[in-house]
Amino acid sequence: MLDKILNKVQTGELTIEEAKQQLAAYENLGYAKVDHQRKQRTGFPEVIYGEGKTPEQLIAIIDAIQEHDNDVLATRISREKANVIMAHHPACVYNETARILYHKRTLETSSNDNGYIAIVCAGTSDLKVAEEAALTAELFGSNVRRIYDVGVAGLHRLLDNLEEIQGANVSVVVAGMEGALASVVGGLVSHPVVAVPTSVGYGANFQGISALLAMLNACSSGISVVNIDNGFGAAYNAVMIDRLTHKSEK
Amino acid sequence: MLDKILNKVQTGELTIEEAKQQLAAYENLGYAKVDHQRKQRTGFPEVIYGEGKTPEQLIAIIDAIQEHDNDVLATRISREKANVIMAHHPACVYNETARILYHKRTLETSSNDNGYIAIVCAGTSDLKVAEEAALTAELFGSNVRRIYDVGVAGLHRLLDNLEEIQGANVSVVVAGMEGALASVVGGLVSHPVVAVPTSVGYGANFQGISALLAMLNACSSGISVVNIDNGFGAAYNAVMIDRLTHKSEK
Amino acid sequence: MLDKILNKVQTGELTIEEAKQQLAAYENLGYAKVDHQRKQRTGFPEVIYGEGKTPEQLIAIIDAIQEHDNDVLATRISREKANVIMAHHPACVYNETARILYHKRTLETSSNDNGYIAIVCAGTSDLKVAEEAALTAELFGSNVRRIYDVGVAGLHRLLDNLEEIQGANVSVVVAGMEGALASVVGGLVSHPVVAVPTSVGYGANFQGISALLAMLNACSSGISVVNIDNGFGAAYNAVMIDRLTHKSEK
Amino acid sequence: MLDKILNKVQTGELTIEEAKQQLAAYENLGYAKVDHQRKQRTGFPEVIYGEGKTPEQLIAIIDAIQEHDNDVLATRISREKANVIMAHHPACVYNETARILYHKRTLETSSNDNGYIAIVCAGTSDLKVAEEAALTAELFGSNVRRIYDVGVAGLHRLLDNLEEIQGANVSVVVAGMEGALASVVGGLVSHPVVAVPTSVGYGANFQGISALLAMLNACSSGISVVNIDNGFGAAYNAVMIDRLTHKSEK
Amino acid sequence: MLDKILNKVQTGELTIEEAKQQLAAYENLGYAKVDHQRKQRTGFPEVIYGEGKTPEQLIAIIDAIQEHDNDVLATRISREKANVIMAHHPACVYNETARILYHKRTLETSSNDNGYIAIVCAGTSDLKVAEEAALTAELFGSNVRRIYDVGVAGLHRLLDNLEEIQGANVSVVVAGMEGALASVVGGLVSHPVVAVPTSVGYGANFQGISALLAMLNACSSGISVVNIDNGFGAAYNAVMIDRLTHKSEK
Amino acid sequence: MLDKILNKVQTGELTIEEAKQQLAAYENLGYAKVDHQRKQRTGFPEVIYGEGKTPEQLIAIIDAIQEHDNDVLATRISREKANVIMAHHPACVYNETARILYHKRTLETSSNDNGYIAIVCAGTSDLKVAEEAALTAELFGSNVRRIYDVGVAGLHRLLDNLEEIQGANVSVVVAGMEGALASVVGGLVSHPVVAVPTSVGYGANFQGISALLAMLNACSSGISVVNIDNGFGAAYNAVMIDRLTHKSEK
Amino acid sequence: MLDKILNKVQTGELTIEEAKQQLAAYENLGYAKVDHQRKQRTGFPEVIYGEGKTPEQLIAIIDAIQEHDNDVLATRISREKANVIMAHHPACVYNETARILYHKRTLETSSNDNGYIAIVCAGTSDLKVAEEAALTAELFGSNVRRIYDVGVAGLHRLLDNLEEIQGANVSVVVAGMEGALASVVGGLVSHPVVAVPTSVGYGANFQGISALLAMLNACSSGISVVNIDNGFGAAYNAVMIDRLTHKSEK
Amino acid sequence: MLDKILNKVQTGELTIEEAKQQLAAYENLGYAKVDHQRKQRTGFPEVIYGEGKTPEQLIAIIDAIQEHDNDVLATRISREKANVIMAHHPACVYNETARILYHKRTLETSSNDNGYIAIVCAGTSDLKVAEEAALTAELFGSNVRRIYDVGVAGLHRLLDNLEEIQGANVSVVVAGMEGALASVVGGLVSHPVVAVPTSVGYGANFQGISALLAMLNACSSGISVVNIDNGFGAAYNAVMIDRLTHKSEK
């Protein structure tokens, strides 16, 4: 990258200011720098992490994004914040289970022949995280299949859905408590598994540590792990992997 | 208990000295008090925990036990210690995998119609702990079936042995790493499961914490847990449970 | 199990659809899969874990269970949720200390000659967990004796109730703080002890870790441990053990 | 899967025994069950985890694998064990840095137009883990580029190699201490990053916890994490991802 | 110090009472001892830590300070407490982001040729801590430059501001999550870096432990660390360092 | 003890019922067993731990205690609970800082020649715990001297009060944050020090763990430690020690 | 203290040099400062902590102590170091169980009417720590009674020795594993208990954390805790308490 | 920096290759990249961290450094490694206490009027870390004063050396166990304190965590902390601070 920019500066293709632009293409709101060229560079739009930001800050950031005709995707948005924001940005849609607020300008209709991401979750209590993952992946243009409430306590529920899981390009496995689902799925598929520990449980689950450690120590190979409750991160990762299936097409 | 002893003291059935004997029936070796009536009281002989004891101390304790014609059962005995002890007590037998040294006087031939304890273990590396459990249970007079190397990474190995596990009175499930085997077995049987986390693994397994937490948080019901690597404790517990099946016979 | 089903498929006893039913006998509510044949398979009805479910979800799950004439047992139900649910399901009964909501159709009158489970608890603050265990065991058809507030700080209170504890088939010992009660009871009885650490205490008890570690390291044998505050799990385990005493009758 | 097997049993295509074979295709060595059909099912051969196994056990497992003409790949093999094994299996090759012993029968010459996996590591002390990853990936048939000693303390070393990293299908980032390299690389590439925390460091690194936590909390998206020092697991995961790039070709 | 005082006592320069005054120069409010000579001794005024103190206690302490014409600087003051205090002390100023309440009597106009402290922060969510540091440093008389929202996920934002950071006498680097910014800045500057981990993040960040450990294990040299969220402490430290640049002038 | 009771039973001095009374002298309220002879046995009245008990339960326990003319001492009582209780028991006195509710029937005027306990505390924020200790000790009849706000950050404050601390029979040292005060006091006195870590602080103090570990590792000898924030336990311990000074008088 | 010294300086009773001597009465060996007046000041001789010191350093420190005719007490001395030291200092005595090397010049024959310290320990494996405590207390001139191997797993062993424990001025309770002995003893005596957790056990005992937490959370009052395995510290504390019984005699 | 290089490229002052050199000025040894221009850029030579490197690797790295006539400074070098290296590089000097191997070409005689760094340490066991700090600082050209064995258990030893500590530009405080020395020194000086926790101690010190947490929570201001046992890092930081005192001279 550096090489190319230096080359262009020497040949005059780029002025120094342009060269700097190429590396620093964000808008400075003072308390935040909004990155408008992120999608061009990485194939993903700038995503807003909603926790700890005021509705006012969120509205201003969305303003800045929309002025550049970019998609809006904000995670960890409470119902209360969503209501305030949607009063200013009525085009935004809110999904309460996934706690995601979004505005998708160009509907990338993902064709079915791309394959899909399987979002597998253990219990009803893991739903929020699973939906954060599923909706994120869909908004990023991947096909998604939801296989929910198939925890290992009732193994037949999982085996009954096995073929659908095995058919995916990549699985996102969401589980709390002892997180055994990741190991079991990992042993039954031959594609990468992104495991998401959730904070579901009580006592010695320590807000998700039990599931996190279990997943890091999974006896099956092919499993990697994201942070506790990080449905968004898992989806982001899975979409990156899913997109590789199209690579040779291009 | 107190009531009965007091009663007998009042009626003269017991002298005061006898009453004290009833509560304190051990031999004082100075550094250890050996309990010779333990088997009468609890149905289990005094067991020697070998870790941290010198061969000399172990020999002396075994001397004291044998003078009362009791069985010897010593756990966590290294091959080196075993050799020294067996030079003095040639009747003792040593099992290296289980790290158990024992001398069983009366061979309680356990009849097959009692049912059995299933000792289920995840991987070859859990063998030591599984064998400590299996041998302990056998020495205490229970029937044992070993179902080894059936970790969830290859679920078919477990399912293939399912019927034998389901037929047990109680299962001891031994697993390290993410300890998922306990949850999976717990969901497939309708008898109590005693789970033993092992310190097998590396990195974020933290010498067995990952498996311990997973088992404590097992999403299946009917699972209880003993200390990391505590094959003996699991077997002791399982034998107690197994013996209840004969209770109504008596 | 697999063997039998495959056999029946081959002989025509089972159609493929029936074979699948046998393994997957749940109703799919979308966010939850309700298992209506669980009682037949395991001897225990499907139990609802109330934490993190909305009253609406709980009502729908109970609807589904009741349509199959199964018993209802929901744990970790707050007074508020209970009120909403009972407005829809007036046959349900709520026990606030145990935080359990239930509807028992067939009153299995447990005969006294079965023996009983002793629920032993250390202090008044452990009452909630002890009652969750006691009521669960009773609803599953076991006899229960409550021995409460007998922590080791006043050993005479425990010794005075010793005979009743010693007479049980299995004990559930509930204690917070340093959890010493499990070790002491374990040393005085000759039946299995299921220990429940509670989060009672403050400072270096770390929400129950002190009691959990103490119980896992109990110097007495025959003790196994369930998750912190998991009165339900302990009772489930104890009932499984208690039922083994009738096994030879059948 | 279940569906298909049941179907074939009904139509007579499979006998019951054959159906069971399909689910359980391992050889039982007593202490270990060797899975000879693993490569057919998952595309990966059975891999031997060497830690805690005796040379004798390892030799026997390798015997069993070679009788089925499968490739041998054993990780965490010390120089001492390797020497003993190679005396029996002279065709095996040993790589001391990677601690891997292998015998590759069919040399899958990976063509360069497949793209490659970038193995990026922070410091010389992370070399063992990085090489375990690199060699594993190569043995599984992927192209690998090694970019070593590019930790963030000297950012210019990383930036100088940036283009090569950016060109990969997937990166494996290996780092100990504060593990910052994963975040920095994650922010500079648009493909998936598999992060491997290493136990390198001292004091408050707690044998790799500092790097593990840092990587789980990476502020860049697209990063997932495997266990501490788990170079093999990272490579396995990366190869699975890398293979997806050929999916549409088939 | 002891030596000098003893000398003066001997020569009569100091009475015993005066000698004691020199060591103990505080006012006793009963629940607090206010140190009025702290600025003379250390160059810094007594600072009030507001957390856990009632508005009434805070008002009384400020009363005591103002009677000696000292500056007021109170940290961790909520908006609610600030309002109550300012009703009594209208000369006080409140900065809500920094949660600081202050009254600066003598405006030490810091001349620009002194150099400056760079306050560098990773994300918008770290703002509170960064502002606590920045305002504290300004109130203590140092020049401050704020370089905010330059986390390593978008490295170009940092590189674009590098020259300003490199020009400082000392940097305060504020970051949560994986805290990688401290390592990266530390590798790019040749002055001391005071790193402040923040509790920003979720899941396995454990309220700032991930950033704390990362910073303690920073692979760059020249970094030292203060407590989680301790913006005040970092600024205090940085000002002490910044003042050394004037030492030889005096 | 056992010996004596058995002797008296034999000689007829005690009936069996009386013998049992001697060991079990409590009143059974169902949810609590109140120990009315505790003061005779241990020299301390039964103390009520208020946390987690309802006002109704507290009132009933106090009723039971008062019927036996015993003193009332209840700790961890909030202002709200205290108000409800005092409406029923107007003779009770409430100290809000110490969170103690008490009713002392016989005012044991402690004579000054007994010596005293020094309650030393580091900062204003440790006041609650220090006052719980001080009031408890006074209610148990010991003389108390309060030396507050003498943390090591301003060593002169401590040295100025040193003689008073050194004159005590025993010191209770209360400190949060880094808990250094215990070590420093321990090095300056020649009597036992009971150290109380408090949960005061933030970030890496982990609710008192920093102070707890510091005190357990104090480099000075003669220091022992009670639980975090356990002012009552420290006072109880200190009073036991203080009373030993009168032992030879009796 | 300060006051007195300042007074004497003013009146000429002390020169400045003498005043400084009073505060700093140690000999500087370069790597260590030996405190020869410690016994006069605190009633205890300077004690040498042997861990991590070379035999040469230990010999030199003992030389320095002996030149002032002070007693020698060195803890944590291995058999190997002891042999080297005793070759130079043949008057020294070594106790291997306690790992203590000492030379007591004046044999303080402690009269039996002083009362005694009870050293109570749970199991044979706690012996080293118990003996370190017992011998230390004896060398400091207290009477000691050893009550060993009375862990709560066999409660009758403890109850049989209860009277002797209850008769002490202070008890030191040494226990590993779950450390329940401290709570049980604390509930049965009315004198202070100093609890010493030991690192005895395995798995989830975490080198003594289980016992440490249990003791800090003991439900009995009157218990304070020292560091894991710190027999010396417990004895030091107990002797300080024991000496208070003579205070009023003087 | 970027700006300047781009400018020079545009003006032709730098060729692209030269521009790249400026950012990447290291020599690639394969397993390590040696940075020969580090001293020019940062004022500090490249330092070799010896742990985990073989003598052969160390010799090769030193070869590379010496070919550029740079100083050699290698930390964490054992006596064994040092002997091997010095056989090849006889000009190197080894300090065993500090575990440092060095070769200083140009003896920067530091003039006394620069002020000095005070290296303060608590006990003899902290010596290794203190010497690593002291020697590092001297090799980097700072004046150093050693104030050793002044832990807070004997406060007079510290007070006696107070003036020398107070006179420093910056203090490095090295302490294990409870780490109280940092707080006490921090409260007595008015310059920055760099605190180094050491792993000295046992039991609940957890290899230095007790001291680390204590120092992070120090109640005195002006203290920042480096990693456990990181004497080198503390010195590096202190030298950076010390050099600022000369800044205005230049």
The conformation of residue G175, written as its DSSP 8-state character, comes to E
Say which of H1, H159, H234 has its CB closest to residue E162: H1
Residues linked to residue F85 through DSSP beta bridges, in sequence order: none
The Cα–Cα gap between H119 and H137 comes to: 10
Lowest mean pLDDT among B9-13, C34-38, E139-143: C34-38
Answer yes or no: is pLDDT of G29 > 70.
no
Band (pLDDT 50/70/90 cuts) for residue F170 is very high
Q: Which residues in chain G have their CB less than 8 angstroms from residue E10's CB? A: 9-10, 16
pLDDT of residue F30: 55
Q: Which two tokens stand for residue D25?
A: 């295709």
Q: Which two tokens stand for residue F64?
A: 């039971």
Apex CA C154: angle with CA C235 and CA C231, to 5°?
15
C-alpha to C-alpha distances, F121 to F130, F179, H210, nearest whole angstrom: 6, 10, 20
pLDDT of residue C65: 86
CB-based touch B/E (3+ pairs, under 8 A): no
Answer yes or no: is pLDDT of B59 > 80.
yes
The Cα–Cα gap between G157 and G185 comes to: 12
What are the tens digits of pLDDT across the range E187-229? 999 999 999 999 988 898 889 999 999 999 998 889 999 999 9
CB atoms within 10 A of CB B89: 16
Q: Give me the sign of the Cα torsion angle C182, C183, C187, C192.
A: positive
Single-letter code of the amino acid located at G178:
E
Answer yes or no: is pLDDT of E25 > 50.
no
Q: Which residue has the higher pLDDT, A136 or C26?
A: A136
Band (pLDDT 50/70/90 cuts) for residue G179 is very high
Mean of all residue pLDDT scores within chain G: 85
Asked if residues F158 and F181 have their Cβ atoms less than 8 Å apart, the reply is: yes
Question: Which residue, F86, F64, F65, is CA-closest to F77?
Answer: F86
pLDDT of residue D31: 59
Question: Which residue, H238, H232, H194, is CA-closest to H75?
Answer: H232
To the nearest whole Å, the CA of C213 is away from the closest chain D CA by 21
Angle of the A2-11 helix axis to the H2-11 helix axis, nearest 10: 40
Q: Give me the sign of the Cα torsion angle A95, A100, A102, A107.
A: negative
Single-letter code of the amino acid located at B195:
A
pLDDT of residue B25: 46
Q: Which two tokens stand for residue G182?
A: 């401290």
Best mutation target among B10, B11, B21, B23 (most F Cβ atoms within 10 Å) is B10
Apex CA D8: angle with CA D4 and CA D13, to 5°?
145
To the nearest whole Å, the CA of E1 is away from the closest chain G CA by 12
Angle of the D2-11 helix axis to the C2-11 helix axis, nearest 10: 40
What are the tens digits of pLDDT across the range H156-193? 889 889 999 999 999 999 999 989 999 999 999 999 99
Answer yes or no: is pLDDT of H214 > 70.
yes
Band (pLDDT 50/70/90 cuts) for residue F23 is very low
Asked if residues A123 and A151 have their Cβ atoms less than 8 Å apart, the reply is: yes
Residues linked to residue D102 through DSSP beta bridges, in sequence order: D73, D93
pLDDT of residue A175: 96
Answer yes or no: is pLDDT of H1 > 50.
no
Q: Which residue has the higher pLDDT, H249 or D89?
A: D89
pLDDT of residue A109: 54
Asked if residues H40 and H14 have their Cβ atoms less than 8 Å apart, the reply is: no
The reply to whether residue F228 touches residue C200, judged by beta carbons under 8 angstroms, is no
Q: Which two tokens stand for residue D172?
A: 């494996």
Search chain C and give the residue with CA nearest F200.
C203
Say which of B7, B16, B23 has its CB closest to residue F7: B16
The Cα–Cα gap between E179 and D19 comes to: 53
b (16+ CB within 10 A) / e for F38-66: beeebebbbbbbbebbebebbbbbbebbb
pLDDT of residue D193: 97
Give whichever of A206-210, D219-223, G82-86, H24-28 has the largest mean pLDDT: G82-86
Answer yes or no: is pLDDT of B216 > 90.
yes
Band (pLDDT 50/70/90 cuts) for residue D66 is confident
What are the tens digits of pLDDT across the range F37-78? 666 666 677 789 888 888 998 999 899 888 877 889 999 999
Run of H or E residues at B48: strand B48-49
The share of chain A scoring above pLDDT 90, in percent, equals: 57
The Cα–Cα gap between H127 and E117 comes to: 34
* Inter-chain contacts counted by CB atoms under 8 A, chains D and H: 51
The reply to whether residue B124 touches residue D23, judged by beta carbons under 8 angstroms, is no
The Cα–Cα gap between A194 and B43 comes to: 50
Which chains have 3 or more CB–CB distances shorter than 8 Å to chain E?
A, D, F, G, H
Band (pLDDT 50/70/90 cuts) for residue F194 is very high
Q: Give me the sign of the Cα torsion angle E180, E182, E184, E187.
A: negative
pLDDT of residue A1: 43
What are the tens digits of pLDDT across the range D148-181? 999 998 888 898 899 999 999 999 999 999 899 9
Mean of all residue pLDDT scores within chain B: 85
Answer yes or no: is pLDDT of F160 > 70.
yes
The conformation of residue H199, written as its DSSP 8-state character, comes to -
Answer yes or no: is pLDDT of C84 > 80.
yes
Question: Which residue, D42, D13, B192, B179, is CA-closest to C194?
Answer: B192
Answer yes or no: is pLDDT of A241 > 90.
yes
Average pLDDT of the segment spanning C203-209: 90
Q: Which two tokens stand for residue F170?
A: 């025993």
C-alpha to C-alpha distances, H44 to A224, E182, H4, H71, H240, nearest whole angstrom: 40, 19, 23, 10, 9
Mention every residue, 6+ apart, whose C-beta is less than 8 A from residue D12: none
Question: Which residue, H153, H150, H170, is CA-closest to H161?
Answer: H150
Lowest mean pLDDT among A26-30, F127-131, H214-218: A26-30
Asked if residues F189 and F220 have their Cβ atoms less than 8 Å apart, the reply is: no
Apex CA A171: angle with CA A165 and CA A177, to 5°?
100
> Which residue shows structure tokens 């197994």?
B242
The reply to whether residue E216 touches residue D210, judged by beta carbons under 8 angstroms, is yes
pLDDT of residue C124: 80
Answer yes or no: is pLDDT of A44 > 80.
no
Band (pLDDT 50/70/90 cuts) for residue E31 is low
Question: What's the predicted TM-score (pTM) here?
Answer: 0.86
ipTM: 0.83
To the nearest whole Å, the CA of C177 is away from the closest chain D CA by 28
Output the 3-class SS for chain E. Answer: CHHHHHHHHHHCCCCHHHHHHHHCCEEECCCCEEECCHHHHHCCCCCEECCCCCHHHHHHHHHHHHHCCCCEEEECCCHHHHHHHHHHCCCCEEECCCCEEEECCCCCCCCHHHCCEEEEECCHHHHHHHHHHHHHHHHCCCCEEEECCCCHHHHHHHHHCHHHHHCCCEEEEEECCCCHHHHHHHHHCCCCEEEEECCCCCHHHHHHHHHHHHHHCCCCCCEEECCCCCHHHHHHHHHHHHHHCCHHHC
pLDDT of residue C108: 56
Answer yes or no: is pLDDT of B167 > 60.
yes
Give whichever of B59-68, B158-167, D103-112, G111-120 has the largest mean pLDDT: B158-167
Average pLDDT of the segment spanning B197-211: 91
Apex CA E83: angle with CA E77 and CA E86, to 5°?
95
The Cα–Cα gap between G25 and H157 comes to: 8
Q: Which residue has the higher pLDDT, A49 or G34?
A: A49
CB-based touch E/F (3+ pairs, under 8 A): yes
Q: Which two tokens stand for residue B182?
A: 């306990």
Answer yes or no: is pLDDT of H10 > 80.
no
The Cα–Cα gap between H241 and H234 comes to: 11
The reply to whether residue E248 touches residue H246, judged by beta carbons under 8 angstroms, is yes
Q: Which two tokens stand for residue C238?
A: 């104890």
Reduced to 3 states (helix: H, G, I; strand: E, B; else coil), residue D172 is strand
pLDDT of residue A114: 73
Answer yes or no: is pLDDT of F31 > 90.
no
The Cα–Cα gap between A176 and C227 comes to: 14
Run of H or E residues at A61: helix A55-67
What are the tens digits of pLDDT across the range B102-139? 998 765 555 556 799 999 999 888 999 999 999 999 99
The reply to whether residue H160 touches residue G20, judged by beta carbons under 8 angstroms, is yes
Output the 3-class SS for G191-249. Answer: CCEEEEECCCCCHHHHHHHHHHHHHHCCCCCCEEECCCCCHHHHHHHHHHHHHHCCHHH
Say which of E155, E213, E219 has its CB closest to residue D153: E219
Say which of G30, G53, G208 has its CB closest to residue H203: G208
The reply to whether residue G213 touches residue C220, judged by beta carbons under 8 angstroms, is no
Q: Which residue has the higher pLDDT, C117 or H42?
A: C117
Mean of all residue pLDDT scores within chain F: 85
Average pLDDT of the segment spanning F107-122: 77
Q: Which residue has the higher pLDDT, E136 or H202?
A: E136
For β-strands E117-121 and F193-197, DSSP reports them as unpaired
Band (pLDDT 50/70/90 cuts) for residue F197 is very high
pLDDT of residue C246: 74
Say which of E217, E224, E242 has its CB closest to residue H224: E224
What are the tens digits of pLDDT across the range C6-19? 667 777 777 766 66
